[in-house]
Structure 1
């Protein structure tokens, strides 16, 4: 029987993790082709994956959702309030992240409770260039919710 050293097991786990992140990146780019134009996306998703593991988030659906949010909102998890919420004792990081995303979705779906959409919108859907993906408009709504503008291009 083949026996691996701890270093070899760790290296295999990292290879598996990188494949996972690459698979999520490919799915994101398929859903929203504009993401494929971001040369920083692979490295940002990898950093986010390492951060999500440090927070203790383990469920695949939460890992994927975390990476999806990172794709649209660079470094969102570095904000002190988010970091504090995810690391707060009493519940698992998976439960806390799930709760966080429920609140975010509620705010996105109910903009009337945060003063309406940008430019006096009435709460209808936002058209960000014609992509049919339900996630393509999320980026602008997400940045609006967390207080970041949609400008910036590659910055």
Structure 2
């Protein structure tokens, strides 16, 4: 029987995690080809993955969503309010992050409740345009909620 040391098991887990992150990156770039032009995307997604794990997020669907948000809103998880919400005692980080996603999606789908409809607009258009990907729409709206422009910087 093959016996692995703790270090070997950790190294295998890291390889698996990096494959997972690379798969999310590849899918995101396929859905929105503009992401492929971001030379920092792989390293940002890896840092975001490690942060999500440190928060206690374990479910694959939540990890994918966490990384997808990072693709469009670099460093979103570094905001103190997000960190405080996801790590707040009483519920798991997965449950809290899922709740966070539901609230953000609701806000994106209902801009009229945050003063998003101006000049009689229908609310159907998304700030910053859209490449057709639902994640790019969420990313554009997310940047507008966090005060970041479509340039991807912290401006």
- Whether TM-score is above 0.5 comes out as yes
Residue in 1 that maps onto 2:6: 6
- Which residue does the alignment assign to 1:20? 20
Distance in 2, matches of 1:119 and 1:13, equals 53
Residues 22 and 42 in structure 1, CA contact (< 8 A), matched pair in contact too: yes
On the 8 A contact 1:128/1:136 being kept in 2, the answer is: no
Q: Per the alignment, do residues 9 and 126 of structure 1 end up closer, same or farther by CA in structure 2, a change over 3 Å counting?
A: same
Indicate if the aligned counterparts of 2:128 and 2:150 stay in contact, CA closer than 8 A: no
Are 1:102 and 2:102 counterparts?
A: yes
1:11-50 to structure 2, matched below 5 A, reads 11-50=11-50
TM-align CA RMSD: 2.1
User: Aligned with 1:61: secondary structure?
Assistant: helix
The answer to whether residue 136 in structure 2 is matched with residue 136 in structure 1 is yes
Which stretches of structure 1, 4 residues or more, deviate above 3 A after TM superposition? 117-122, 127-130, 151-155
Structure 1 residue ranges without an equivalent (≥5) = none
Residue number in structure 2 paired with 1:55 = 55
The two structures have a TM-score, normalised by structure 2, of 0.91
2:115 corresponds to 1:115: yes
Q: Which moved more, 1:125-134 or 1:47-56?
A: 125-134
Q: TM-score, normalised by structure 1?
A: 0.91
Aligned to 1:74: 74
| Cα pair distance change 1:55/1:130, threshold 3 Å | closer
1:138 CA drift (Å): 2.0
Aligned pair count reads 155
Unaligned segments of structure 2, at least 5 residues: none
